[in-house]
Structure 1
Amino acid sequence: MSLTSFLRIKEVREAFASEFEKPKLKLDWKIKVPPGTTNYSLVGTAFDYLMRFYLERLNPFAVTEPWTCERAVEVLNLGLKDLSELKELEEIKWWGVITGIKSQLGQTKLDYPKLVDMAENIVKEAKIRHSQYVKSGHMTNEVIKTVILMSQLDLIFRGGYLYRNIGKVDKRDIQDLKSMLSIIPKNIFTAKSICLLNPTFGEATRLIGGADADIVIDNRIIDIKTVKKCEIRRDNFNEIVGYYILGRIGGIGENHRVDASDIEEIGLYFSRFGKCCLFNVDTIINQDTISAFMDWFKNRAQAEFKILMIK
């Protein structure tokens, strides 16, 4: 389970719709960077990584969590063992994903050990490119190529999907990402004292089976949307409110805690438009009822997680 899947449950959707009124507004911003290919999801994930790199350079005190692609490599390495060698429940639960990845190898020219080697090399190279960029601020095509390869590995961890052309990069996607990087509004993302990148929510993340926000800048939670249409959809609104709720329950950040009650704005950054839409928390959250809602949220999540464990 994850926050996204939890929010898809009919009862949960209805509860969010009842408790949190979505502001009525129409965004008439015009797209500045149309997609260059149909690799929409891949480019979106790659931009998330690129944004992390950029913000680490912009805000030297930024705190970042481990990359998802690193976790993908850990999972792939488990597949070099026999199932009988896996002792921890946390390892065993990934066996279905590993089996699925192995079944998809036929669409590539790789065998499993070569796939693991490729994944390890991608992460190794990414750490070098990342370090070079954060130190120099010099964005190159090689850095952008690296984040695309990283996003290919994310598909393994997040969805058990092996990218058909893993290890290959479309030059149009590189240009796409470079263009989106060029329109980031620096003033929105320059932090005064707090910059958390992909922070989790302590016990609340474990409660929901996995959740991390994109960015926390001072008193703002911002989610990145690399989409063609600029609109505030109900599911996107629920997601950003969900991060706020998780933060109120478990705090924001594992080792660098931020009290979510200090968060004043939540919103969405539309990377193809270079625009950020922010909502004042006080206009969305009813402080008289939020405690009761959080209790319901915790109980409903615990019940759902038990159901999934039984299955």
Structure 2
Amino acid sequence: MSLTSRIKSNKEFRDIISTVAPLKEDYTTLSGKTPFSKEYTCLVESNLPHAGDSSLVGVAFDYLARFRIGQIINNTDAGQYLAALSGIRKLQRKTLDFKLKDEYYLPLHTAVYDFIKNKEAISDGILLVALRLGKLEQFFRMRVSKDFDKNEFLTIQRSEMLIPDLKELMAVFEEKFISSGIVNKKSEVVFNPNFGISSFLVDGADADIIIDGVLYDFKTTGNFKYDSKDSLQLSGYFLLNRILREIEDNHLIIGSLNYDKISFNKVCLYKARFGEFEYYDFNVIKKELLDDTVINLAGYFDNNPGRLNNIFLAAPFADEEGYRNAIKKIANKNKTPL
């Protein structure tokens, strides 16, 4: 159960997150338009006939946006540690075809590396690569049916519609995101940030990107309206990082996990079809409320530790007992500042 799944299905968890989650009126836009309003102009119409197509385009766009940012800062890490790699490993186990990584995935990885390193222009080729990587990420996250057909799955259906849609989205991204100077060659960027032990506590949580202390979440929906799920997701990322920082900075952990030591207070939804930015700054929340929320969340994790008992699978020397004790100590704090 990932962060988004837990928010959707667990009321106790959702209620804790919601205490700091921003409402519609709490956001500001870069354009000055009213957030989530009819003032937005749709620049790329969503005309894809199948919901699955829209989902795939969304994942592919996430990849392409990161690759393009990788070009700006000259960092090929944008093409590393992709969920698509977990997808190909899962696909190999499912099909017992262990040549897939070398024969299918590695050429995609090479194409991404060349695209970033050589600062290549957006082409139909790299758009198709992103769609293929997107399919693999979807496979990693999906439940596999008994009648699963590998060849049918790896075929990009209706590419003649998906590629033009992606191309238009990237043209808007170039104009609104890249050309605006939000990211530059000196920017501090974390690609696909994870939240260490906090990710284990919710059975998986990884965000899109952090640029100069702002966490950006890319959305390709054609709906401009406010969606509370987005606010809860962004607030979840923020709180998971707060708990991670509290544990790692203030408690003795013998064997720690590898993670990106990140700090952010500001989040932003980038609506790719509108070229609009919806910002929220958690610094506006009173410290007492935020501290209480972290304590309550630690209490929840003390009773619902997610995949903490399987932490050794990812990090054999991780200090499971140390993490458990740290979570319990945070949960048992008096209502005092952290």
Task: State the TM-score, normalized to the length of structure 2.
Answer: 0.73
Aligned counterpart for 2:87 among listed residues 27, 51, 72: 72
Q: CA deviation at 1:76?
A: 2.9
Q: Which amino acid aligns with 1:132?
A: D
Tell me how many residue pairs correspond in the alignment. 272
Q: Distance in 1 between matches of 2:295 and 2:85?
A: 34
Secondary structure of the structure 2 residue equivalent to 1:29: coil
What's 2:271 paired with? 270
1:303–1:62 CA distance, 2 compared to 1 (3 A): farther
Q: CA deviation at 1:134?
A: 0.6
Aligned counterpart for 1:180 among listed residues 169, 184, 205: 169
Secondary structure of the structure 1 residue equivalent to 2:288: coil
1:226 aligned to 2:220? yes
Q: CA deviation at 1:118?
A: 4.7
1:210–1:165 CA distance, 2 compared to 1 (3 A): closer
Q: Which amino acid aligns with 1:35?
A: S
Q: CA deviation at 1:21?
A: 4.3
Q: Distance in 1 between matches of 2:193 and 2:226?
A: 23
Aligned counterpart for 1:151 among listed residues 134, 143, 161: 134
Q: Quick check: 2:198–2:240 contact (8 Å CA) kept in 1?
A: yes
Aligned counterpart for 2:241 among listed residues 239, 243, 247: 247
Q: CA deviation at 1:243?
A: 0.7
Q: Which amino acid aligns with 1:274?
A: G
Q: Which amino acid aligns with 1:221?
A: L
Aligned counterpart for 2:154 among listed residues 149, 155, 166: 166
Q: CA deviation at 1:71?
A: 0.8
Q: Distance in 2 between matches of 1:307 and 1:69?
A: 21
What's 2:113 paired with? 131
Q: Distance in 1 between matches of 2:287 and 2:76?
A: 30
Matches within 5 A, 1:22-33: 22-24=23-25, 25-27=35-37, 28-33=39-44
Deviation track 1:237-278 (CA, whole Å, cap 9, x = no partner) reads 0101111111112249945412x2xx2421101111122111
What's 1:92 paired with? none
What's 2:61 paired with? 47
What's 1:208 paired with? 202
Q: Quick check: 1:62–1:196 contact (8 Å CA) kept in 2?
A: no
What's 1:121 paired with? 103
Q: CA deviation at 1:140?
A: 1.5
Gaps of 5+ in 2: 26-34, 249-256, 310-338
What's 2:28 paired with? none
Q: Which amino acid aligns with 1:204?
A: S
1:221–1:293 CA distance, 2 compared to 1 (3 A): same
Q: Distance in 2 between matches of 1:120 and 1:156?
A: 18
Identity of aligned residues (%): 22
Secondary structure of the structure 2 residue equivalent to 1:133: helix
Q: Distance in 1 between matches of 2:139 and 2:101?
A: 10
1:244–1:308 CA distance, 2 compared to 1 (3 A): closer
Q: CA deviation at 1:53?
A: 0.8
Q: Distance in 1 between matches of 2:154 and 2:181?
A: 34
What's 1:295 paired with? 295
Q: Which amino acid aligns with 2:6?
A: F
Task: State the TM-score, normalized to the length of structure 1.
Answer: 0.78
Q: Distance in 1 between matches of 2:277 and 2:208?
A: 13
Q: Which amino acid aligns with 2:273?
A: R
Cα RMSD after superposing both structures: 2.6
Q: CA deviation at 1:231?
A: 2.5
User: More deviation in 294-303 or 215-224?
Assistant: 294-303
Secondary structure of the structure 2 residue equivalent to 1:20: coil
Secondary structure of the structure 1 residue equivalent to 2:154: coil
